[in-house]
Structure 1
Amino acid sequence: MSDVTAISVGGRYDVLVGSGILSRVTDLLADGVERVLVVHPPALAGLGARVARTLTDKGYAAELAEVPDAESAKTSSVAASLWSRLGDAGFTRSDAIVGVGGGTVTDLAGFVAATWLRGVQVVQVPTTVLGMVDAAVGGKTGINTPEGKNLVGAFHEPAGVLCDVDVLTTLPEADLAGGLAEVIKAGFIADPVILELVESDPLAARRYDNPRLRELLERSIQVKADVVAADLRESWLREILNYGHTFGHAIEQVEGYTWRHGEAVSVGMVYAAELARLSGHLSGPEGDELVARHRMVLESVGLPTTYRGDRWAALLPVMRRDKKSRGSTLRFVVLDGLARPGRLIGPSEEALREAYARVSTR
């Protein structure tokens, strides 16, 4: 077993990062827990069973609950099926849920935990880069509706998060690259060393067995931990974590969630950078260089930076339903400089369209 890094989220809970640490899931459960529901997707049935055996060996009554893959898991009907499982098994307020999977599973498990008996504890075991650096940390939970992504949810902090880097061994290369979008985002909004590490060796950043990836994970988790510790309920500071997400979420919905989240956010960050340049938040040669740097670093790890040019009429109404919008006013997280996130409120229709043109394929 490797050394373990414990990253505190405001002293309220820890994110454990290491290799071969799956058995430490029981360390994160509070005293008094008797029953644990382990939620997992079909592809991770074996890993879910390993977690359940670990719990059973430590005296817990563990049950497995399989949910659909990807965004199909984040629906009201799937959440309702888990509520029924909890009710049938007699789960009380002192029992717990463990989410084993990518960001969709941790979002779902957290939401079900937040709503069952008005809140039971949840431990997250993310199995993707995206889940480790973003979805599992911070207490944001949610499900989708036909009208948009994550429109129904609750803030519900986990009892702990366990990031076992060894589980990334089976992660498809495209999914690992997709998760790096959130890593790179952390570099642009808070920790430029992340960008330097990726730029110096993009191939190492994409290898689960390279120490470079673990350093990137830990730095990205630290960025998120610092932000959410200061602003749990997204009054303002936490909004910076949505850099690239307004346009990115719109792509996801318009494409019927056939795009990976990280791929959509990658294009969304370039869109936000172009919008910042057009609106004067970024200016001069330094502004041009920062916009260009978005494209270079994202493309270096195999992420897209353009999107089709015939979808504006579908994208705009989705962006208007973004959680950061207020009434009919669109709000974007933009950069005023490297690691200097700011807010753009009510950009002009002309700027919105021009930024779209600059990320569009012809």
Structure 2
Amino acid sequence: MSVVEVNGPAPYEVRIGSGVTAGLEQLTVGSRVAVIHPASVNHLAARVADLVGEIVDIEVPDAEAAKTPAVLSGCWDRLADAGLGRGDIVVGLGGGATTDLAGFVAATWMRGVRLIQVPTTVLGMADAAVGGKTGINIDAGKNLVGAFHEPVAVLCDTDSLNGLPVREVRSGMAEIVKCGFINDPVILNVIGKDPAQVLNTDSDAFHDVLARAVRVKASVVSADLTESTSRGSEVGRERLNYGHTLAHAIEAHQHFTWRHGEADAIGMIFAAELSAREIGLSTDTVARTRAVMAALGLPTTFDATPWPELRATMNLDKKVRRGVLRFVGLRAPGHVQMIEGPDEEVLRECYETLRPRRQHAA
């Protein structure tokens, strides 16, 4: 088992390894427990009930369909009916969307109750469940309503990844790749040596890059919990949004049929192209970005939504300051810099590089 400490006003542990869900028994002593989960992990919810005793069982839709005002309100109603009190605990059991929702439920119920995250996907383990960001989607865009609410523990039980569809594994790997580009290039080296092995969630290589990604996020979050330290070209927690500006717009326009990691793969290629034009990222690193995504079976091209529509949605991005669109850029792997107010034609040019290359008949 690997244990990663997340420091801050209320420090907590991220435990990574086989069987770590068993830790719930000790973590929940003396408290009632509400478990928010999709039907796809009903068997894991039953395991939680075996560990902690009777639970308030709240089943929600899978994936982004869970992150709606209606589902959120339904969760509140269930907690009210059950009489869940301020001293009790909400457990988020599922993928990144489930942990986002469960975190927001915990943040808002009685102005905040304790939260334990038990992610069951690669994306949830590498990113969504760690760091205290919670939220839901509205028609205007993704994650526009939410709160910062740190868990008291995160349990990344790798046993729960057994049987996870390969599409979900690949999607989660995009967030691990992101951590490689923004902070720990060793991740990129491990993936480059044997991408197929890294996609095997039982392998040592997978466990290595997952633990490295969690350490990256823990380090960043510990220094800047609420994205308050980015000023000018300096980058705090916002570095974790590398690739997300375009990715969130793609997700919204594709009605969340794209997995987050799939959209983020495109977003990182776009961000690399922009970084090459604005802050001197090498063309080799741009090419490496495409190569890593392709090696993991992630998308490298996109033209399903007209640029003007995506650009309009990007104005709602949370990194916008005083109407100025800002991107997390890369000067080199491990070296991040904000790009503020890039020229509109440069942005369009970067988007054009994402179009599939057409094969012309001879």
Q: What TM-score do the two structures reach when normalised by structure 1? A: 0.94
Q: Which residue of structure 2 lines up, in the alignment, with residue 349 of structure 1?
A: 344
Of 72, 75, 88, 2:65 maps to 72
Q: Which residue of structure 2 lines up, in the alignment, with residue 53 of structure 1?
A: 50
**Following TM superposition, where does structure 1 have runs of at least 4 consecutive aligned residues deviating by more than 4 angstroms?**
none
Residue 328 of structure 1: how far off its partner (Å): 2.2
Aligned Cα root-mean-square deviation (Å): 1.1
Amino acid at match of 2:215: Q
Of 182, 185, 190, 1:197 maps to 190
Q: Which residue of structure 2 lines up, in the alignment, with residue 261 of structure 1?
A: 260
Q: Which residue of structure 2 lines up, in the alignment, with residue 209 of structure 1?
A: 202
Q: What whole-Å deviation, never above 9, does each CA across 1:62-100 have from its counterpart, x for those lacking one?
A: 121100011110011111111111111111111010010
Residue 335 (1) aligns with residue 330 (2) = yes
Residue 311 (1) aligns with residue 287 (2) = no
**Partner secondary structure for residue 162 of structure 2:** helix
Q: Which residue of structure 1 lines up, in the alignment, with residue 243 of structure 2?
A: 244
Any stretches of 5+ residues in structure 1 without a counterpart? none
Residue 117 (1) aligns with residue 110 (2) = yes
For residues 7 and 28 of structure 1, the distance between their equivalents in structure 2, rounded to whole angstroms, comes to: 17
Q: What whole-Å deviation, never above 9, does each CA across 1:109-136 have from its counterpart, x for those lacking one?
A: 0000000000000100000000001000
Residue 270 (1) aligns with residue 269 (2) = yes
Residue 306 of structure 1: how far off its partner (Å): 1.1
Residue 94 (1) aligns with residue 87 (2) = yes
Q: What whole-Å deviation, never above 9, does each CA across 1:233-260 have from its counterpart, x for those lacking one?
A: 0112000000000001111011110101
Counterpart contact for 1:191–1:339, Cα < 8 Å: yes
Q: Which residue of structure 2 lines up, in the alignment, with residue 282 of structure 1?
A: 280
Amino acid at match of 1:311: P
Counterpart contact for 1:71–1:104, Cα < 8 Å: yes
Sequence identity (%): 51
**Partner secondary structure for residue 332 of structure 2:** coil
Q: What TM-score do the two structures reach when normalised by structure 2? A: 0.94
**Partner secondary structure for residue 200 of structure 2:** coil
Of 287, 294, 304, 1:292 maps to 287
Amino acid at match of 2:20: I
Any stretches of 5+ residues in structure 2 without a counterpart? 231-235, 358-362
Counterpart contact for 1:37–1:63, Cα < 8 Å: yes
Matches within 5 A, 1:164-175: 164-175=157-168
Judged with a 3 Å threshold, the aligned counterparts in structure 2 of structure 1 residues 23 and 306 are, in CA distance, closer, same or farther, namely same
For residues 185 and 361 of structure 1, the distance between their equivalents in structure 2, rounded to whole angstroms, comes to: 23
Residue 228 of structure 1: how far off its partner (Å): 0.3
Q: What whole-Å deviation, never above 9, does each CA across 1:290-335 have from its counterpart, x for those lacking one?
A: 1111011111110111101652121001111101012321000000
After alignment, is 39-48 or 155-164 more displaced? Answer: 39-48
Counterpart contact for 1:52–1:63, Cα < 8 Å: no
Residue 23 of structure 1: how far off its partner (Å): 1.3
Amino acid at match of 1:319: M
Counterpart contact for 2:303–2:355, Cα < 8 Å: yes
Amino acid at match of 2:331: D
Counterpart contact for 1:7–1:16, Cα < 8 Å: yes
Residue 126 (1) aligns with residue 119 (2) = yes
The number of residues matched between the two structures is: 349
**Partner secondary structure for residue 360 of structure 1:** coil
Q: Which residue of structure 2 lines up, in the alignment, with residue 160 of structure 1?
A: 153
Q: What whole-Å deviation, never above 9, does each CA across 1:235-286 have from its counterpart, x for those lacking one?
A: 120000000000011110111101010000000000000011112x125xxx
Amino acid at match of 2:119: P
After alignment, is 165-174 or 20-29 more displaced? Answer: 20-29
Residue 42 (1) aligns with residue 23 (2) = no
Judged with a 3 Å threshold, the aligned counterparts in structure 2 of structure 1 residues 132 and 310 are, in CA distance, closer, same or farther, namely closer
For residues 186 and 199 of structure 1, the distance between their equivalents in structure 2, rounded to whole angstroms, comes to: 15
Q: What whole-Å deviation, never above 9, does each CA across 1:22-65 have from its counterpart, x for those lacking one?
A: 21123334x6x421101110111111111122111xxxx41211
Q: What whole-Å deviation, never above 9, does each CA across 1:146-165 have from its counterpart, x for those lacking one?
A: 00000000000001000011
Q: Which residue of structure 2 lines up, in the alignment, with residue 302 of structure 1?
A: 297
Counterpart contact for 1:309–1:361, Cα < 8 Å: no
For residues 332 and 326 of structure 2, the distance between their equivalents in structure 1, rounded to whole angstroms, comes to: 18
